Amino acid sequence: MKKNLTHRHLPNQFTLFSLIGLLILLFTLPISAQIAVQDSLLQLIKEHPQNDDRKAELLNALSFNIHNTDPKQGLAYAQEVIDFGSSLKEKRNLYGAYMTKGINLMQLAAYEEALSYYNQALKGFQALGDRENEASAFSNIGVIYKHLNVYPKALSNMQEAAHIFNEIGHPNGLYIYVNMAVIYSELKNFNKALEYYTAARQLSQKRNDRKIEAYSVFNTATLLIDQNKLEEGLAYMDTALVASNEINDKLMVARIYGNMGEAHGKLGNNAKSISLLTTALSLNDSIGNRKSRTLNLLNLGDIYFKTGKLPLAYKYGLMAYQEGKLLDIIDAQRDAAHNLSAYFERTGNADSALFYYKQYILFRDSIDNEQNRQQITRLEMQYDFDLKEQDYLKEQELSKLQLKQIWLYGLILVAFIILLAIYFIQRARIRSIRLKNELKEKELLQRAESLLMEQRISESELKAIRSQMNPHFIFNVLNSIESYILDNDPKTASILVQKFATLSRLILENSTQSMVTLDREWSALQRYVELEAIRFNHRFSYSFTYRAEQAARTLLVPPMLIQPLLENAIHHGIRHLTDYDGELQITVDNNQEKLIITITDNGIGLSRASLFAKPSLLKQQSIGIAGIKERIAIINARQKDNRASFELFDLYEYGENGTKAVITLPLVLVGQEDGIQDVNLIS
């Protein structure tokens, strides 16, 4: 459950000597000195009001300076640079603002938005040929993917950063060791993680880098706790806490308290554990770190469950599950689902226990699937190969210099050219193999996406069939038929049977195709409304109006998409009217690219429906609307430009009675969709 701290890189856009000095000292100064740096930057900005490169440098430095203590204000400083960035001569300062904004957003757990700004910074630095900042952008993108639990992409981006740092001989390469170690510790590969942490510690001691040293101690402690070496891990945590307070890193302080709280919980020190976790939760709330806050909630729920305080265990467990779902933190959702399953099992709620246990299995498999592990192994092998390739090139350059000093220069030069030719042939061969593998991976990915889309379509269509042919509707129709038979009205009963049979046939036949002609769907809708009108003793009138330019038999629509709206209009709107004055209008129109279907009723409206309907009916209504939205989303996923839409209006808000629903679909003609046959209307 523990999450390790990773390092964020400062863009190298600050060219003035005074600013460089401030940033070099930033991580080693105590809190009071860091505040002095902040005050100095604010004073310099005050003395330089004009919006130019100088002010951009100062604002970027200030934004980075406070990203650990006040990320919301840091966002404001970075955004100020972006606002006047188009007027800057040095575009490096604008791209630096993108980077610092991403850093502050990452502190606030706004990972998707932070990823967008990092990508903008990456493109800008690549265009400038700024290799150092390009590597920093790759590193931060890797950190984002780590937070999102997309470990293959995280490792790939960090490897790219390490490759560039090693290529240019930059010392920031040691930060990448820490970040890569974090990923391996997340995957419980403790030996590999410890290998990278050891390398980072050794380099940080040579460079006297207090920040990396503090991170390494903290992460080493985390590894020990993960391996249940709790007492030893807590001793390291105490050292890390002192170091983190020295550099004023509130984010790491909060995580240290959280990990210490979890360790004390494993040791059975429940009161101490709750105190530390509550402190961590308070710190994360103050700095807006929602991901760490989610983990604190998860651990508090676990402690309360162990101590038998079930209401508090449920409260914190549910909060952790909801936060994890909101932030898309898969491992947090996994552990929270497991705890909730245990809670409901203990309280005797078997259905809820089974539900959350299924969720736990789903999230667990998502994280630990074999595909991720295989891809990480491949990337690790690729990274090792790249390092060997760099070493090989350096050795060749050194050999070339030495050969110049030898009398037999000509002969050795020929040998060198032969070796170089062999190298390039091998390199071309390796590139060819890589290209084939990448093409194969893309093909498999496209195939998987296609199968997933087909599955979603099938599930959506099945839900639509269930919505139209629900047992309650069938039962009511059969009761109506029985009533007419008992009342000696066989003619009406016969008409009902014929209409019900026709409707059932249309629904079943339409359900076999992903698209059907509009006249078939139109006929099914008419039969459904006629049956409902008879069932409700003609308490409402209805009209079907077709104004489209093309013939209904030439247009294609998804089957079973409109009926849930008719059902909602009748059962949740018109049926609650006191008089027999209900009206239901269904119209079809089109423009050049769209088919527009409008359903209007004069019922009680959406806002008043909840006053009349039972909870189960409201749930059924929401499921029907959710199903329509899901099918619209599937249609849009298959459309590039001409997209579908669904809108629902409560006419009570406009001074009228009733509800209006509008479905807009792409205009598709027969023959434009594979597998569709032109069939005539069944009457």
Confidence band, pLDDT 50/70/90 cuts, at residue 21: very low
Clarify whether residues 381 and 345 are in a common domain.
no
Tens of pLDDT along 437-474?
A: 888 888 878 776 666 666 566 555 555 554 545 565 67
Clarify whether residues 322 and 378 are in a common domain.
no
421: in domain: no
Of 123, 141, 170, the residue at which a domain comes to its end is 170
161: in domain: yes
**Residue 675 or residue 483, greater confidence:** 483
132: in domain: yes
Instruction: Give, for 588, the enclosing helix (H) or strand (E).
Output: strand 582-590
Return d(Cα 571, Cα 577) in angstroms, integer.
11
Tens of pLDDT along 544-568?
A: 999 988 888 999 988 888 888 998 8
Tens of pLDDT along 327-373?
A: 888 888 898 899 999 989 999 998 888 999 998 888 888 776 655 66
Provide the number of structural domains found in the chain.
4
430: in domain: no
Clarify whether residues 387 and 357 are in a common domain.
no
Q: Residue range 64-87: average pLDDT?
A: 90
188: in domain: no
Clarify whether residues 392 and 321 are in a common domain.
no
Clarify whether residues 383 and 274 are in a common domain.
no
Of 118, 147, 170, the residue at which a domain comes to its end is 170
Clarify whether residues 556 and 480 are in a common domain.
yes
Of 145, 170, 195, the residue at which a domain comes to its end is 170
Clarify whether residues 507 and 597 are in a common domain.
yes
Tens of pLDDT along 79-138?
A: 999 999 999 999 999 999 999 999 999 988 899 999 999 999 999 999 999 999 999 999
263: in domain: no
Contact 151, 378 (CB under 8 A): no
Return d(Cα 427, Cα 485) in angstroms, integer.
85
Q: Residue range 387-405: average pLDDT?
A: 63
Which CATH number does the domain housing residue 484 bear?
A: 3.30.565.10
CB contact set of 247 (below 8 Å; sequence gap of 6+) = 27, 28, 29, 210, 211, 214
Clarify whether residues 353 and 381 are in a common domain.
no
Residue of 340, 395, 334, 322 whose CA lies nearest to 363: 334
Instruction: Give, for 488, the enclosing helix (H) or strand (E).
Output: none
Clarify whether residues 545 and 617 are in a common domain.
yes
Return d(Cα 109, Cα 284) in angstroms, integer.
11
Strands 582-590 and 540-546: parallel
Residue of 298, 334, 3 whose CA lies nearest to 147: 3
**pLDDT score at 25:** 36
Which CATH number does the domain housing residue 359 bear?
A: 1.25.40.10
Residue of 582, 596, 614, 609 whose CA lies nearest to 661: 596
Clarify whether residues 50 and 122 are in a common domain.
yes
Three-class DSSP labels, 334-386: HHHHHHHHHHHHHHCCHHHHHHHHHHHHHHHHHHHCHHHHHHHHHHHHHHHHH
Range of the domain at 380: 371-400
390: in domain: yes
Return d(Cα 126, Cα 88) in angstroms, integer.
18
Clarify whether residues 22 and 149 are in a common domain.
yes
Residue of 551, 567, 554 whose CA lies nearest to 601: 567
Q: List the 540-546 sheet strands across, edge first.
A: 540-546, 582-590, 594-601, 659-666, 645-650
628: in domain: yes
Clarify whether residues 348 and 470 are in a common domain.
no
| Partners of 556 in the β-ladder | 517, 668
Q: Could you tell me the two tokens for 665?
A: 């679909």
Strands 555-557 and 582-590: unpaired
